[in-house]
Amino acid sequence: MPVTPTRWLAEYAWLPEHAEPTPDVLIEVEDGRITALTPLLAAGGPPAGIEVLRDATRLPGLTLPGLSNVHSHAFHRALRGRTHGGRGDFWTWRDQMYAIADRLDPDTYLALARAVYAEMALAGITCVGEFHYLHHRPDGGAYADPNAMGAALVEAAAHAGVRLTLLDTCYLTSSVDGQALAGPQRRFGDGDATHWAERATAFQPADPHARVGAAVHSVRAVPADQLRTVADWARDRQAPLHVHLSEQPAENDECRAVHGRTPTALLAEHGVLGPDTTAVHATHPTSGDLTLLGESRTGVCLCPTTERDLADGIGPARRMADVGIRLSLGSDSHAVIDLFEEARAVELDERLRTRRRGHFAPVDLLTAASTAGHAALGWADAGRIAVGARADLVTVRLDSARTAGVPPVGVFFAAAAADVEQVVVDGRVVVAEGQHLSVDVPAELSAAIEAVTPA
């Protein structure tokens, strides 16, 4: 591993509260933290003459704060390109997803997740939230270490060089009316929320790159009278709490039929909503749902590429923002892993929905892709190029076929993951010249996917 420089000179850097990038910024780092920032043009030149720049490594292009992938199901990456051969919807896609889930064990999951997280690093993602419910053996029995699958994900993130928030997911039933888990779903369940909490409490990774949060899979998967157990577990630990919410209209209809209220209202009634909670998708909320989410300061993670891949619909992102909901982004099923695509889709999907342009400024998309996402995952000291923040730096080329001639402020409407040139995580270079320094990503993805894909 090459020695990490302590000074970088960014051709452009996007600093907090700035509507557009700042040229010629000297970034100084020590012990994984940003210790000084000097915009050289604003300072009238280097503060101590040119000598201060002799050991600075120049970063041509635009340097962004580390990007945050708030919602990931790492094993879904094995489905990319394999689920498009016919008609169907989320529910038919889910059957194919279960076939992959049924074939994973701690070793194959480690190999697959390591490659997937390394692909994320290549895309400029420095932190990922893994919505983790593959807890047990395929028959539902526990491994000798009941958290062996979670431990595999923590190890995978370490190998890939990214931070991880493991969102340990409570998944107890297969439907809103409480039908039992069956088939591949059996490995998801812990019996009840109390047993889920006992297992989750027992998993305390010492690795500094990993934290544990909680998730309610959905109102389909956690009975109403057990929702508060999960919420209290997270609040007692000041940990992030995430939940799939109103991803499909069928979920809303079933919840109304069983509980007489929407999923959002049910979650509010049982104490799940709040400033440390992130609702994933929220594609089909009512006006009343948006009010509940906004008033409770619950965030929403949008996953536009998955939502369109599964034909789920377009969530009302602008209406969410207007009621004070903070927006973050995830690649979810990994139809693509590209936070630039996810970010611009927030604006472009709104244009399709409303037939109007100009809903989100570029800095709003940056915030969703970085600052807001890190906060949603419990890393509030990341996602900003600021003194005291974690030294996560993502440098994007401005001379590729996609970005040539594009002003730096337009990068979220032009760049792709392939334009990421260098990635620094906590002060350590993980990607250089567009290559991961420790993982052969294409080769490892191919081998790991082949090992778990049904013949």
pLDDT in tens, 137-181: 999 999 999 999 999 999 999 999 999 999 999 999 999 999 999
Least-confidence region, from 1-5, 30-34, 84-88, 448-452: 1-5
pLDDT at position 344 over 60: yes
Give the number of other CB atoms < 10 A from CB of residue 349: 20
Domain ranges of the chain: 6-65+385-436, 67-377
* Interatomic CA distance for residues 69 and 342, integer angstroms: 10
Phi, psi for 37 (deg, rounded to 5)? -135, 130
Bridge partners of 449, per DSSP, are none
pLDDT for 3: 46
Cα distances (angstroms) measured from residue 157 to each of 3, 114, 196: 21, 6, 23
How would you list the strands of the sheet with 277-281, edge to edge? 67-72, 125-132, 163-170, 210-216, 241-245, 277-281, 299-302, 327-329
Residues carrying an active site annotation: 281, 332
Do residues 87 and 416 lie in contact, with contact meaning Cβ atoms separated by under 8 Å? no
Whether the domain at 6-65+385-436 and the domain at 67-377 fall into the same CATH topology:
no
pLDDT confidence bin for 86, thresholds 50/70/90? low
Cα distances (angstroms) measured from residue 210 to each of 6, 153, 157, 386: 24, 10, 8, 22
| Section 244-254 average pLDDT | 96
pLDDT for 386: 98
- For residue 431, the surrounding DSSP H or E stretch is strand 428-432
User: Tens digit of pLDDT for each residue in 396-410?
Assistant: 999 999 999 999 999
Angle at 194 between CA 193 and CA 197, to 5 degrees: 85
| Section 353-370 average pLDDT | 97
CATH number of 6-65+385-436: 2.30.40.10
pLDDT confidence bin for 55, thresholds 50/70/90? confident
| Section 344-356 average pLDDT | 96
* Interatomic CA distance for residues 41 and 46, integer angstroms: 8
Three-state SS at 112: helix
pLDDT for 328: 98
* Interatomic CA distance for residues 425 and 103, integer angstroms: 32
What is the share, in percent, of the chain residues with pLDDT greater than 70?
95
Q: What is the DSSP letter of 16?
A: T
* Alpha-carbon torsion, ordered 52, 57, 63, 67, to 10 deg: -120
| Section 211-231 average pLDDT | 98
- What amino acid occupies position 340? F
Between residues 98 and 362, the one the model is more confident about: 362
Cα distances (angstroms) measured from residue 102 to each of 145, 159, 181, 286: 18, 24, 14, 35
Tokens of 82: 């394999």
Looking at every residue in the chain, the average pLDDT score rounds to 94
E strand spans, 283-368: 299-302, 327-329
Place of tokens 């000041």: 238
- What amino acid occupies position 279? A
Question: Which of the listed ranges 20-24, 39-43, 97-101 does the model predict with the highest average pLDDT?
Answer: 20-24
Per-residue b/e over 281-299, b at no fewer than 16 CB within 10 Å?
bbbbbeeebbebbbebebb
pLDDT at position 449 over 50: yes
- What amino acid occupies position 150? G
pTM confidence score? 0.95
Nearest to 346 by CA among 70, 23, 122: 70
pLDDT at position 81 over 90: no
Fold of domain 67-377: TIM Barrel (3.20.20)
pLDDT confidence bin for 373, thresholds 50/70/90? very high
- What amino acid occupies position 16? P
pLDDT for 1: 42
* Interatomic CA distance for residues 241 and 230, integer angstroms: 8
